Amino acid sequence: MSGIVADGVSRSFGTVQAVRDASFQAAPGRVTGLIGPNGAGKTTLLLMLASLLAPDTGTIRIGDIDPLADPLGARRQLGWMPDALGAWPSLTARETIVMTARLYDIDRPVAQARAAELLTLVGLAELADAPAKVLSRGQKQKLGLARALVHAPQVLLLDEPASGLDPEARVQLRVLLRRLAGEGRTVLISSHILSELEEVIDDAVFLVAGSVVDAAPSQTAVRAWRIRLAGSVESQLRVDAGRVAAALSMAPESLGVDRTALLVGFDTELAAADGLRRMVEAGLAVSEFAPAQSALEHTFLNLPRTGAGS
């Protein structure tokens, strides 16, 4: 089985350093999220992994293959889905898949069968004979995923695959990615939709200003929790804040407000659990107590942001 190993990878464009000494691994059988703000260097890094851009320094391995030394060997292992499809607009969805398969030296009968299989898999069977130029953004994303899977690659590089998908299609995508990882494939997915990534990834690689950032420091950052008392309405939040603050031995002004809920910061989950215990012991009818952000969002929002990537 093929995994991904990047060691000290850098790439610049003139005076702009897009990726800086980036090192990480993505393992077979797991979905790894490549996460970072706009301009972090995610697409540049994916292009290097896909053998479409040479790194200035560092090494990349797709399994035991160096994409720089053997790009054709690497591409046999890789399924690449860019953010924009870049399809041939006059070809139908079916013809697009068949043509892609033929470029991988797949015999035409096998390519045609593969096209039918993949278009059904991604939910485009009814549009198989529609030209790519009439497909919506979400439908083009589905076609891009089908094209990436045409040669049954062991490594998938997916750049914003959920972009343009409706809610049902996003759920279907998550299920498919988990299935592909369950078959032993390495899946590396870049996305800004953190709520979607939270549901599907096993591991996360955080990229800021072109550098892979250790997310460990965020574990000690204060995390906001939403607290709502039973029957609470907006007009009585000030009273609720006073009662909650008293139970937690906090100043009422240290509590925030989120619609009909209060926001309270806790350093750790143990501190949050202790806070809940104290509120219940104080006789407060707590009807909602949950993190205001997912663990992934919390980590992402607390990443150090210095410099600028591309």
Q: What is the pLDDT of residues 85-99, one digit of tens each?
A: 776 788 999 999 999
Q: What is the dihedral of CA 82, 86, 91, 92, to 10 degrees?
A: 40
- 4-213 adopts what CATH topology? Rossmann fold (3.40.50)
The yes-or-no answer to whether 4-213 and 217-300 have a common fold is no
β-sheet bridge partners, residue 241: none
Each domain of the chain, given as residue ranges in start order, spans 4-213, 217-300
Judge whether 2 and 191 are in contact, CB under 8 Å: no
Is pLDDT larger for residue 3 or for residue 307?
A: 3
Decide if pLDDT at 305 tops 80: no
What per-residue confidence (pLDDT) applies to 102? 95
Q: Give me the residue label for tokens 């720089």.
A: 68
Q: Cβ-count burial of 91 within 10 angstroms (0-12 exposed, 13-18 middle, 19+ buried)?
A: middle
How many C-alpha atoms does 131 have within 13 Å on its Cβ side? 6
The predicted structure's pLDDT at residue 32: 96
pTM, to two decimals? 0.82
* 155-204 pLDDT, tens digit each: 999 998 988 888 888 888 999 999 999 999 999 999 877 877 888 999 99
How large a percentage of the chain has pLDDT more than 70?
95
Q: Which of 18, 6, 20 is nearest to 155 (CA)?
A: 6
Domain covering 217-300, topology: Alpha-Beta Plaits (3.30.70)
- Strands 186-190, 211-213: pairing is unpaired
The predicted-structure confidence for 231-278, as pLDDT tens digits, reads as follows: 888 888 889 999 999 999 999 999 999 888 999 999 889 999 999 999
Q: What's the mean per-residue pLDDT of the chain?
A: 90
> Tell me: the pLDDT tens digits for 14-36?
999 999 999 999 999 999 999 98
Residue 141 gets which letter from DSSP?
Answer: H
Q: Are 19 and 309 in contact (CB under 8 A)?
A: yes
User: Span 74-93, mean pLDDT?
Assistant: 87
Is pLDDT of 100 > 80?
yes
Task: Report how far apart, in Å, the C-alpha atoms of 114 and of each of 96, 120, 122, 161 are.
Answer: 12, 10, 12, 21
